[in-house]
Structure 1
Amino acid sequence: MFSWLARTASACWGPVRRYARMSKDEDDDDPLLWSRDIERHSAGEFSIAVVQANESMEDHSQVETGPIATFLGVYDGHGGPDASRYISDHLFLHLIRLTRENGAISEEVVRNAFSATEDGFLAHVRRTREIKPLLAAIGSCCLVGVIWKETLYIANLGDSRAVIGCLGRSNNIIAQQLTSDHNASMEEVRQELRSLHPDDSHIVVMKHGVWRIKGIIQVSRSIGDAYLKRPEFTVDSSVPRFRLSEPLRRPVLTAEPSIYTRVLCQQDKFVVFASDGLWEHLTNQEAVEIVYNYPRAGIARRLVRAALDVASRKREMRYADLKKVEKGIRRFFHDDITVIVIFIDHELLFSPNSSVPDLSVRGFVDRVGASDFSLLDVVSANGNSTA
């Protein structure tokens, strides 16, 4: 298998088209790697980096900053980019709307923002199914973090992961995973699925050495994947990849997020949010040690580079050679990878930082503009800015 991959990659080690408007430094000219080295948010600084592997970029991501709160999202699509792009365009806006209606951010507000996004995407699938029927088979993992005053809210669907770096008693950095991986490779996920579907002996199936739900998909929670949630979205059975062994009787996937709330303390130094492409190659502890031991500027890019170095060594390649492999073929070596590192400066947690701009950063597409966080000014003015 590897010899075939090596021959295929070697054939593509010619000049690679460079993306416009993509950040690059002198010693790192990977044409598929994009980053913003350091920016400010309401409680510190953040760094973001993305590398593409698929023919179409399926990871979408965003950071939204304002003087009273910070929002970030990592959306790891599968089957295509449609669902992850939709989440990037809509979930944050739903959060803002619901926060204004409720007067504060809360777990319920975050959960309802996920629900509204899921409902909106399924409605989009329904409207467009005649012209794009396979949209019913496209979905996305969804990892969201919100810092609202001194509280961190995290909501997750799928196997992207948030890991916090905490300072230990000996000033060593300790990794603590804040999210659960909703992936059939996890025994607890398989047990959960079997308990929810006791009459379905094929709810999880080992296929080609990998546990999959209905023999098709690994993640058990997502936005989209409509054909695995509602019978009305059945995909043409002539497409083997999405063929169900029997008609869908009830949903086998869910869009109900796991939500975690943490009041940030002095020992909490930063949080790494990343799609599973990073965690495939780095452990939680390896990631936080890299963040802790290197300068903030460019730290997300450094994490991506560390993962790519590991991916290269697994294929007995050099990273210099991997950089020459084109998108699409590069998926044989690593997945799309998105990393956001959010640093927590505790002196900023308890007071609005008026010098922080309302900034919206979209990963990889390199779109930067004003954020809609300004819409929450009325909430802050009313004194309802605590959860």
Structure 2
Amino acid sequence: MKKMVHFSSLLSGFSPKNGKKRRINLGREATIALAKEARKNGLLLTSPGNVSAKWSDNYVSAYSKGGNKGINQDCFIVWEGFGGKEDVMFCGVFDGHGPWGHLVGKRVKKVMPAYLLHYWQEAMAQCSILMNGELFKNANFDQFGMWKKSFLKACSTVDYDLELHPVIDSLYSGTAALTIIREGDLIVLANVGDSRAVLGTTSDDGSLVAVQLSVDFKPNLPQEAERIHQSGGRVCQAEDEPGVSRIRASIDEEPEGPGLALSRAFGDFFVKDFGLISEPDVIQRTITARDRFVILATDGVWDVVSNEKAVEIVSAGKEESAKKLVEYAAAQWKRKRPGYAADDISVVCLFLHNP
């Protein structure tokens, strides 16, 4: 496989006066070229299937299914050998909402890898020493710190990209995004919204247990509600939606006015000044021999399936694990919520020790 394209060398011919936008655009062009190569080699997946590179410890199963609400607003991406580096994988699930939610989700899926890779290369260059044309890590190198900084910058830029988009209207539409990087034995998870990551790992007695890695960012969480109130927004529940908390723009808004059942999302600019943020919660975990797989799934799964049941289903076999979990969740919508429109469902199962 080709070695990584170093954006720092690509940028060497450009002066600072060209500005941040030109550097980012150049980085995106390089990422698009890498993505095309990865897709040609079967290492980039955006439709149901599996990814298993011969040289990798990873095995990924991914699947998506629309509900009964119209067009499927969920999507996902799996990219083995992310950015041309054989030991890095990027995965994500995106859950759009609102009239343009399917386009917002697809847009974020498209641009987020490019922005993330650009900022990661930038951070790596700042914390490395160039010797004989190659970059070497300096003594203060922080692997997780590099990814966290890159995720924070990338998510901010993604939201800015949506705000300025000439076609996609993100005023009352948006998307949740749950993304993961695996680099060697490190996994870095960045969560914007209410999709969820669950780890299947082995306990001391040898049994398989579920460990929730992410937080479902709903407006009624204490820390989220406090930020919303301090921003002038409010958290309300409508009479016809018991148990569903939504951000509303201001005290003057009528109860039937638009609200958002997430406290973090890309887009949804009608409440961005009232406590909604696109800042990701970024966490890390060092993979051990006990850790078997990570499930990334939109809330169409977690609204009707427990963490434990999801881990049980995925542990039964990796090849069609994502499809089996999606189909089980779809059946649970019919059984547990008759009369309700089933939600869109997307699942990515990342197996960590592929022989």
**1:312 Cα deviation after fit:** 2.2
1:69 to 88, 95, 116: 88
Task: State the SS of the aligned residue for 1:254.
Answer: coil
> Given the superposition, is the C-alpha separation of residues 199 and 305 from structure 1 closer, same or farther in structure 2, using an over 3 Å criterion?
closer
**1:252 Cα deviation after fit:** 2.3
Under a length normalisation based on structure 1, what TM-score does the superposition of the two structures give? 0.65
2:60 to 46, 56, 62: 46
1:194 correspondence with 2:226: yes
Q: Which has the higher contact order (CA 8 A, sep 6+)?
A: 1
Q: Write the distance in 1 (CA, Å) between the matches of 2:119 and 2:175.
A: 22
1:213 correspondence with 2:247: yes
Conservation of the 8 A alpha-carbon contact between 1:82 and 1:138: no
1:223 to 266, 270, 283: 266
For 1:60, the equivalent position in structure 2 comes to 75
> Given the superposition, is the C-alpha separation of residues 341 and 197 from structure 1 closer, same or farther in structure 2, using an over 3 Å criterion?
same
1:158 correspondence with 2:190: no
Conservation of the 8 A alpha-carbon contact between 1:190 and 1:204: no
> Given the superposition, is the C-alpha separation of residues 51 and 98 from structure 1 closer, same or farther in structure 2, using an over 3 Å criterion?
same
For 2:109, the equivalent position in structure 1 comes to 88
For 1:325, the equivalent position in structure 2 comes to none
Conservation of the 8 A alpha-carbon contact between 1:76 and 1:141: yes
Q: Write the distance in 2 (CA, Å) between the matches of 1:195 and 1:287.
A: 32
Q: How does 1:21-32 map to 2 (within 5 A)?
A: none
For 2:137, the equivalent position in structure 1 comes to none
**1:111 Cα deviation after fit:** 1.5
Q: Which moved more, 1:62-71 or 1:208-217?
A: 208-217
For 1:11, the equivalent position in structure 2 comes to none
2:341 to 324, 333, 356: 333
**1:160 Cα deviation after fit:** 0.2
Under a length normalisation based on structure 2, what TM-score does the superposition of the two structures give? 0.71
> Given the superposition, is the C-alpha separation of residues 313 and 75 from structure 1 closer, same or farther in structure 2, using an over 3 Å criterion?
same
**1:190 Cα deviation after fit:** 4.7
Equivalenced residue count is 269
Identity %: 28
Query: What RMSD over aligned residues (CA atoms) do the two structures have, in Å?
Result: 2.2
Conservation of the 8 A alpha-carbon contact between 2:62 and 2:347: yes
> Given the superposition, is the C-alpha separation of residues 220 and 285 from structure 1 closer, same or farther in structure 2, using an over 3 Å criterion?
same
**1:194 Cα deviation after fit:** 3.4
> Given the superposition, is the C-alpha separation of residues 315 and 254 from structure 1 closer, same or farther in structure 2, using an over 3 Å criterion?
closer
For 1:280, the equivalent position in structure 2 comes to 303
For 2:120, the equivalent position in structure 1 comes to 99
For 1:117, the equivalent position in structure 2 comes to 158
**1:302 Cα deviation after fit:** 0.6
For 1:142, the equivalent position in structure 2 comes to 177
**1:346 Cα deviation after fit:** 7.6
Q: Write the distance in 1 (CA, Å) between the matches of 2:109 and 2:230.
A: 36
Q: Write the distance in 2 (CA, Å) between the matches of 1:261 and 1:177.
A: 13
> Given the superposition, is the C-alpha separation of residues 199 and 335 from structure 1 closer, same or farther in structure 2, using an over 3 Å criterion?
closer
Task: State the SS of the aligned residue for 1:270.
Answer: strand
For 1:362, the equivalent position in structure 2 comes to none
Conservation of the 8 A alpha-carbon contact between 2:304 and 2:329: yes
**1:81 Cα deviation after fit:** 1.1
Q: Write the distance in 1 (CA, Å) between the matches of 2:185 and 2:70.
A: 40
